[in-house]
Structure 1
Amino acid sequence: MIQRFDVGARMSEMAVHNGTVYLAGQVAADDTLDITGQTKQVLAAIDALLARAGSDKTKILRAQIFLADIADFPAMNAVWDQWVVPGHTPPRATVQAALARPTWKVEIVVTAAV
């Protein structure tokens, strides 16, 4: 069975199947914030979605991070390093990408175990 959360016409925020949680790309609710603020909002959104699925950040299987400007890499990493649980750092990729809105600075996609 596939369980979908916050289903819209174009996408769902999250799907759970066979013990795995798949999140849509998460972006900041307040796109006027700098990279630090946006990253904090994105990670908080990830925490909230994982909790709804009965999971948490210690169960992340992989993370994909998209930065509008790779120059933001150190500042994003500073927030990430405070958020991630030592000993539970997931495989991760970070790339520079043109995001769907020019005001978004970071988008993160996570896959986790339940």
Structure 2
Amino acid sequence: MLPSRRHNQSQLPQILGHLASDVGLAIIIVLVFLAVYLIDIITPLGDPVWLLYFIPLILAYWSTRYYAIPAVCIVTLLFLICGFFFSPVGIAASLALGYRFSFFIIFISVALVLWIKRGL
């Protein structure tokens, strides 16, 4: 193969390698968190947008870092609380609080299962 042909190869494997690294994965998780939070504070209370917080949890499962899943849980708790206070009114606040609390209990359960499955 000519040297000039070797330099014209696609950079796609390098880009995918960087995205699959822990730094790339952390950047993707942060961007997904911000996008879900922005959608959460734009939509009225009662819309189950907070279900999208499962996406960063699944992405954190792929990380090799020990603290990735607990960190996602803590950030999700903070964003759920802030989303509750900053979202426009849609349904009664007590009902919306019940929905978010039940979601958080389910979220922690799933996170614990993933964390145990990955190996504490």
What is the TM-score when the length of structure 1 is the normalising length?
Answer: 0.35
Bigger share in helix? 2
Bigger share in strand? 1
- Structure with higher RCO (Cα < 8 A, 6+ apart): 1
| Larger CA Rg, structure 1 vs 2 | 2
What is the TM-score when the length of structure 2 is the normalising length?
Answer: 0.34
